[in-house]
């Protein structure tokens, strides 16, 4: 694994962590809260986005308008069974999700969830570093690179690791601020 590959993979890990953070609600309506919800549509799991138009008319409401009215009850059931913690209200043509204000206990819980996502991201970055280090050491053993080059590569790899774990920490701090801001 070359440094460029490692950096690219670390960048993708940071983006994945950001997407995970987007699924945590912050007291404001946001369509990305529903990103992880899949609906059992004709026997296959289908993302909610591909079955309905999702909009946020105001900061406390999410509207879900299915492209096919027959999926209304399936979507409602999928939202009810998901871990978003919202109760759907079905009026026959669309589903309304009201976002209640967060309690302080729920905010603390959401901060813990965000911290868990951040830790998963940091672990993934460390795993990428480990794989790249193994590759560098193998190259050194087989005499394809000198000891000095190997050390130089390892130093650069550590700097990349530090850069991307710091980025995840920044994203976590932003998300915690979003969650705790009333």
Rounded mean pLDDT, 55-84: 84
Give residue 118's pLDDT band: very low, low, confident or very high (50, 70, 90): very high
Tell me the sheet residues that pair with 95.
Answer: 64, 90
> Per the structure block, which two tokens stand in for 51?
């079955």
pLDDT tier, 61 (very low <50, low <70, confident <90, very high otherwise): confident
Q: Is the pLDDT of residue 1 over 60?
A: no
Q: Which helix (H) or strand (E) holds 41?
A: strand 38-41
| Element containing residue 168 per DSSP (H, E) | helix 147-180
Task: Give the rounded distance of the alpha carbon of 105 from its chain centre.
Answer: 22
Instruction: Tell how many helices (H) and how many strands (E) occur in the chain.
Output: 5, 6
Structure tokens given for 92: 């026959």
The fold of 28-98 is: Gyrase A; domain 2 (3.30.1360)
Our measurement of the distance from residue 37's CA atom to the centroid of its chain's CA atoms, rounded to an integer in Å, reads 13
Q: What is the pLDDT of residues 78-101, one digit of tens each?
A: 888 887 777 888 888 888 888 877
Residue 181 backbone dihedrals phi, psi, to 5 degrees: -75, 125
CATH architecture of residue range(s) 3-21+103-180: Orthogonal Bundle (1.10)
The confidence band for 112, taking pLDDT boundaries of 50, 70 and 90, is very high
Strand pairing partners for 63? 55, 96
Hey, where are the domains in the chain?
Answer: 3-21+103-180, 28-98
């Amino acid at each position: 694994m070359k440094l460029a590959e490692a950096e690219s993979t670390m960048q993708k890990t940071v983006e994945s962590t950001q997407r995970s953070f987007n699924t945590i609600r912050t007291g404001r309506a946001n369509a990305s809260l529903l990103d992880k919800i899949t609906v059992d549509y004709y026997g296959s799991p289908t993302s909610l986005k591909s079955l309905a138009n999702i909009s946020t008319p105001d900061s406390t409401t999410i509207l879900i308008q299915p492209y096919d009215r027959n999926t209304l009850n399936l979507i409602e059931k999928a939202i009810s069974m998901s871990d978003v913690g919202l109760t759907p209200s079905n009026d026959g043509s669309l589903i309304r999700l009201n976002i209640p204000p967060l309690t302080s206990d729920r905010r603390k819980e959401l901060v813990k969830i965000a911290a868990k996502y951040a830790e998963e991201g940091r672990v993934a970055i460390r795993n990428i570093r480990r794989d790249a280090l193994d590759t560098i050491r193998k190259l050194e053993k087989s005499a394809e690179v000198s000891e000095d080059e190997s050390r130089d590569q390892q130093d650069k790899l550590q700097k990349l690791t530090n850069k991307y774990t710091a980025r995840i920490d920044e994203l976590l701090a932003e998300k915690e601020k979003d969650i705790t801001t009333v």
